[in-house]
Amino acid sequence: MEKLDMTITDPLSNPPLADPVDTPPHWRRFAPDLAEDKVLFSELVPGGGHWSYSLPRGTTLRMTALENGANLSLVLYSAREKLERYNMPDSLKAQHTAHYTRGHVLMSDMGRSMASITADSLGWHDSLGLLLDSRLLHEKYGDHSYQNHRNGMYRSGRDGLLIEIGKYGLAKRDLVAPVNFFSKVSVDEEGRFNFVPDHAKVGDYVDLRMDMDVLVAFSTAPHPLNPSTTYSAKKVGLAAWRSGPAGKDDYCRHFRPENARAIHNADMLYLV
C-alpha cells in the first residue's frame, strides 16, 4: 500500500484514543466531501492487496473504486469476542435479499448488526460469490512468484484474508463468506451465477458504518467469477471517519424491522 502510518486505536474504546499523526491525506483525492476533523486515516490499496483494522463502533469506512472493475472482499469479526462474526445466511434471510445496498446491515451469528451500509452509489454488492482461492488463481492466471517477478506476485483473496485474520489468532476454520463490494453477481432461473464485468466505475463508493467494535479484514484480489484470464486486480481507496453510532432516525434502522432489531441488539452491548 502507499502508506503505512495509521491511527492507533483501542478496539474497546469509543472514540479512538488519538488523532492521526503525519498521516497522508489520501482521502482528499477520492472522498473530498468528508469533514477533515472527522477523518481518522486513509489508504490507497493496490489491486491484489490485503489489510486489516480494528475499528470501534461509530466509525464509518468509505470504500471507493479507483479503477473500473474493482472488487473488495471483506469479512468482519467482533473485537470483543472473535467467535462472533459476520453471518451471510442469516443476513440475507432476515433482509429478504441476495445482494447488498444502502439500508442493509451485516448481521452476526448472534443476531447483532456488526455494520450498516449507510451510503452506496452502486446499488448492488455481491454476497454469494465467495473468494478466489489458490487453485483457481493458478488455473486462470498461471504462476507469478514474488522472486521471479521482481517483487510482484499474484495472491488469491482467500490467502490474503487468511494472512490478515491470522494476525488476530484466527485460522482457516474461522474464515467466513465475505461481502464482495463493487461486484455484481446475478442468479438466473436455472440457478446459475452470472458475473457482471466492470460493474463498478471509477469514483463509485460505499460507506460501511461499524455498529460494534469490529475486526475488519479485506482483500482487493479479483472476484472468483470474473471471466478475465488476465490478473487485473484494481486499486481501491479507503477512508475511516467518525460518524457516530446509529441514531433513532437512522435510515438503516428503519429500512426493515429485522434491521431495527439487529441494531438494537448491537446497541445493548453499549448501555454503559
Instruction: State pLDDT tens for residues 171-204.
Output: 999 999 999 999 999 988 888 999 999 999 999 9
CB within 8 A of 33, min separation 6: which ones?
A: none
Q: What is the pLDDT of residues 141-162, one digit of tens each?
A: 877 666 665 556 688 999 999 9
**What DSSP designation does 71 have?**
-
Question: What is the structure's pLDDT at 22?
Answer: 66
Cell 452476526 -> residue: 108
CA geometry: angle 196, 198, 158, nearest 5 deg = 80
* H helical segments located in 18-76: 27-30
Coil, strand or helix at 230: coil
**What DSSP designation does 98 have?**
S
Question: What is the structure's pLDDT at 147?
Answer: 61
E strands, 97-181, in order: 99-100, 105-107, 113-120, 125-126, 179-181
**Is residue 5 predicted with pLDDT exceeding 80?**
no
**What DSSP designation does 48 have?**
T
107 CA to centre of own chain: 14
The answer to whether residues 50 and 222 touch, using CB atoms and an 8 Å cutoff, is no
Query: Rounded distance, CA 168 to CA 12, Å?
Result: 15
Q: What is the pLDDT of residues 105-141, one digit of tens each?
A: 999 999 999 999 999 999 999 999 999 998 999 888 8
Query: Rounded distance, CA 23 to CA 106, Å?
Result: 29
